[in-house]
Amino acid sequence: EAQVTQNPRYLITVTGKKLTVTCSQNMNHEYMSWYRQDPGLGLRQIYYSMNVEVTDKGDVPEGYKVSRKEKRNFPLILESPSPNQTSLYFCASSFYSGVFANTGELFFGEGSRLTVL
Amino acid sequence: GIQVEQSPPDLILQEGANSTLRCNFSDSVNNLQWFHQNPWGQLINLFYIPSGTKQNGRLSATTVATERYSLLYISSSQTTDSGVYFCAIGGATNKLIFGTGTLLAVQP
């Protein structure tokens, strides 16, 4: 089954304790992206990657890191989480054609609900 | 950058009613998608529709790119249709811009 898989789905942690949210897709998509969703602020892009070893900042990258060592995986790293990073996080992936990465149909993972105390 | 506006912001329906959700955008686009976020938070693809018309069961969508709008039609609504409906558009950047959504509540 074609899917984007995120783990963990739920996590409660404390300020400053490094954590990683994994994301894996089995559709051979070039493009992968992380979003956070907060009440009243909608979906905001954190980072995206157009292919292996190619990543770029989205709208809200502060406090996050990413890496794309393999095509299927795109982990999101919070080096020193803070309470303002409490949010619902989504990973997404797509094919794309042409110059821009936003041309393909985007598929989302099931979301990871993170609480930082 | 491209602006996306969805209407109405919220909608309450009785089961069995029909509805039309609208997405307006401010510039030409190379991508337009409709998503449904269910009450458990999952984002589900409904349509990839940068232009034209598509149908999937009780749902259909039409995008008129030249007039810069897209419509999502829900017929014979069911309680399971409740949630937030987002349109997302892609223009001349690497980003997909999301609208603020329409919150739909279908009452039995």
Average pLDDT over residues A92-103: 78
Q: Which residue among B42, B86, B91 sits closest to A111, beta carbon to beta carbon? A: B42
State whether A106 and B96 contact (CB < 8 Å): yes
3-class SS of residue B4: strand
Task: Please tell me the distance from the alpha carbon of residue A47 to that of residue A111, in angstroms, as a whole number.
Answer: 16
What values do phi and psi take at B81, rounded to 5? Answer: -80, -10
Task: Please tell me the distance from the alpha carbon of residue A7 to that of residue B49, in angstroms, as a whole number.
Answer: 30
Interface A-B: count of C-beta contacts within 8 A: 53
Q: How far is A4 from chain B (nearest CA, A)?
A: 11
Q: What is the pLDDT of residues A44-92, one digit of tens each?
A: 999 999 999 999 999 999 999 999 999 999 999 999 999 999 999 999 9
Asked if pLDDT for residue A98 goes beyond 90, the answer is no
Residue showing tokens 């998608």: B33
Task: Please tell me the distance from the alpha carbon of residue B17 to that of residue A63, in angstroms, as a whole number.
Answer: 45
Q: Are A72 and A24 in contact (CB under 8 A)?
A: yes
3-class SS of residue B34: strand
Average pLDDT for chain A: 93
Q: Chain B partners of A95 at a C-beta cutoff of 8 Å?
A: none
Q: Does B94 touch chain A (CB under 8 A)?
A: yes
State whether A100 and B30 contact (CB < 8 Å): yes
State whether B33 and A105 contact (CB < 8 Å): yes
pLDDT (0 to 100) of residue B38: 93
Task: Please tell me the distance from the alpha carbon of residue A15 to that of residue A117, in angstroms, as a whole number.
Answer: 6
Asked if pLDDT for residue A103 goes beyond 80, the answer is no
3-class SS of residue B105: strand
Q: Which domains does chain B have, with CATH numbers?
A: 4-107 (2.60.40.10)
Q: What is the pLDDT of residues B4-31, one digit of tens each?
A: 999 999 999 999 999 999 999 999 888 8
Q: Does A45 touch chain B (CB under 8 A)?
A: yes
Q: What is the pLDDT of residues B71-82, one digit of tens each?
A: 999 999 999 999
Q: Which two tokens stand for residue A73?
A: 């995986």
pLDDT (0 to 100) of residue B90: 86
